[in-house]
Amino acid sequence: MRRLFIVPLAAALTAHLLAQSPAVPAAAPAPPTPPTLLGFAVTGYTTLGSQYIFRGLTQTDGKPTVQAELDLVHPSGFYVSAALSNITWISDSFSSGPVSAGVEVDLFGGYKWGFAKDWTLDVGLYRYLYPGDYKAVPGYTPNTTEAYLGLSYSWASLKYSRVVSDGNFGVAKASGSSYIDLSLAFPLGESGWTILAHGGKTTYNTSDAAVNSLFDYTDYKLGIAKEIKGYTFALAGTNADTKDAGYKNLLGRNIGKDRVTLTIAKTF
C-alpha cells in the first residue's frame, strides 16, 4: 500500500538538509551540476532500510529493503519520476495458491510551483504498479492510481492524495479513498540533525461501511535524521492503529502497529 514512504521522504529530507547547510566557503569548489536530459535535470537516490514502511505499514514484513528512484526535474517546475522497491505484503496475504509479486514500481509526475518565499504548491498523479502472477486470485489487482495536492512551507508540508482508479491497493470499487499526510522535518540549527514527525489518516470509500471501518486507520511517526558526507541516516518509530481483521497477514503479524526503522539514503 504502498507508496515508497522512504522514497519521497528520503529525497525530500536530503534536499531539505542540503538547502539548510551552511554556505560553502568561497575557496571550496562549486557543487557538481546535475546532468540534463531534454532540459530536465536528472537526479535520484538509492536507499537501504531495515524494512520498508509506507503510511505506517511494513511492506516487507519487517525484512530489509533496497530501493531506488530516478527524478527528472524541469526548471519550469514540471517533474517525472520512477521508483522501485522489493515487497512481500501481497504474497504474505494469500492462502489460495502461489502469488508472485515481489516488486513495487512507482511512476509519478506533476508540477511544483514556488509561489512565495518558502511556499510551494505541488500537484500531480501517482501510479503504483505491482507486476506479478495473480492467477491464483482471478480478478485481483493491487495496482492503484492517486491524484495528489500538496502544500509546503519551509520544513512543514501537508498533502492530500485521492484514489482515482477503481481499486485501492487490492480493495475493489474503492475509488475516492484518500490519505492525508502532515509531515515535519525540523532542522536543529547547523548541526546536520533533523527532527522528523508525521501524522496520516487513511480513509476508504466503498459502498460497504463495514469494509471502510475495517481498513480505515491513523498512523504516526517520530524520528531523527542526519546527513553525513552525502548520506542521510534516519531512525524513526512508527505506529498505525490497524485492526488485525484487516491488516494481519498469513504469518499472523499485523503489518501496522509499533515499528522502528533504520534507513540509509544516498543521492546521486
Residue 140 lies in a domain: yes
CATH of the domain at 33: 2.40.160.40
Mean pLDDT, the chain, integer: 89
Residue 255 placed within a domain: yes
Contacts of 28 (CB under 8 A, 6+ apart): none
- The pTM for the full model equals 0.87
Residue with C-alpha cell 560553502? 24
In a domain, 151, yes or no: yes
Range of the domain at 185: 6-267
Averaged pLDDT, 131-155: 95
Domain presence at residue 20: yes
Pairwise CA distance, residues 234 & 119, whole Å: 25
In a domain, 62, yes or no: yes
Q: How far apart, in whole angstroms, are the C-alpha atoms of residue 168 and residue 165?
A: 7
* Predicted pLDDT of residue 31: 57
Using CA atoms, how far apart are residues 33 and 73, in angstroms rounded to an integer?
13
Secondary structure letter of residue 101 according to DSSP: -
Query: How many residues in total does the chain contain?
Result: 268
pLDDT at position 216 is: 98
Question: How many separate domains does the chain show?
Answer: 1
Q: Output the pLDDT for position 86.
A: 98
- Within-domain flag for 1: no
With the C-alpha atoms ordered 2, 5, 6, 7, is the resulting torsion angle positive or negative?
Answer: positive
Q: Which of 35, 42, 14, 2 is nearest to 194 (CA)?
A: 14
